[in-house]
């Protein structure tokens, strides 16, 4: 069965920004852990909406992606993936996800961010639909300075394995070795 990594970028990001092109290049080196890497170009990245971004995932992957799908979300991309997984029909499951700089609370809010914070996520549905959950956070993220609370929420909501990277900020660099390491160490070997 074909194995795909689906990448959902951050707020105001694009597939050619941040670490996404570098990560794709590194993950295509033999032995490549994925048959395909799909970095989505999400609509209205400066003002993302739940419906706009989740429906883009649904249009791209269908209501049920193959079980061999792995997701990688960055910031609001994490929220998008969680909400997409919660919308999947019961009884379907994907291999897992890496959530980079994901959040449930932020230090400062603005109008277009409020729906993402105020609209509940059905975490029971997400847990049922998600195999392994790995979270990469920083102890210096300018949007979620209380990284301990953020880590606790990921652990409580999803039972996620959380990796805290000292000085990682919001992982917006052209190369992010900690993100590559998380993907390779948790999803580098193909399931048997």
Has domain 4-187 been given CATH number 3.30.930.10? no
Within 13 Å, how many C-alpha atoms sit on residue 23's CB side?
Answer: 35
Q: How is residue 86 written in tokens?
A: 């919660």
pTM of the shown model: 0.97
Q: Which of 105, 58, 59 is nearest to 79 (CA)?
A: 105
- Structural domain boundaries in the chain: 4-187
Residue 129 CA: distances (Å) to CA of 8, 30, 133, 183: 18, 29, 11, 19
Answer yes or no: is pLDDT of 92 > 80.
Answer: yes
Give Cβ neighbours of residue 48 (< 8 Å, ≥ 6 apart).
Answer: 11, 42, 76, 80, 112, 116
Please tell me the predicted confidence (pLDDT) of residue 192: 66
Answer yes or no: is pLDDT of 191 > 80.
Answer: no
Mean predicted confidence (pLDDT) in 22-30: 96
Task: List, for residues 36-51, the tens digit of each pLDDT value.
Answer: 999 999 999 999 999 9
């Amino acid at each position: 069965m074909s194995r795909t990594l689906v990448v959902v970028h951050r707020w105001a990001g694009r597939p050619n920004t941040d670490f996404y092109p570098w990560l794709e290049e590194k993950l295509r080196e033999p032995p490549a852990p994925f048959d395909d890497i799909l970095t989505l170009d999400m609509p209205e990245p400066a003002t993302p909406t739940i419906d706009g971004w989740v429906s883009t995932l649904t249009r791209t992957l269908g209501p049920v992606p193959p079980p061999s799908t792995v997701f990688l979300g960055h910031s609001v991309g994490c929220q998008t993936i969680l909400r997409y997984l919660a919308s999947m029909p019961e009884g379907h499951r994907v291999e897992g996800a890496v959530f980079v700089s994901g959040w449930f609370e932020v230090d400062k809010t603005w109008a277009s961010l409020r729906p993402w914070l105020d609209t509940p996520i059905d975490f029971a549905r997400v847990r049922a639909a998600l195999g392994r959950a790995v979270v990469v956070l920083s102890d210096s993220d300018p949007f979620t300075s209380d990284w301990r609370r953020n880590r606790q929420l990921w652990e409580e909501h999803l039972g996620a394995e959380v990796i805290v990277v000292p000085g990682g900020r919001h992982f917006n660099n052209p190369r992010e070795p900690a993100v590559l390491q998380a993907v390779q160490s948790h999803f580098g070997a193909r399931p048997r």
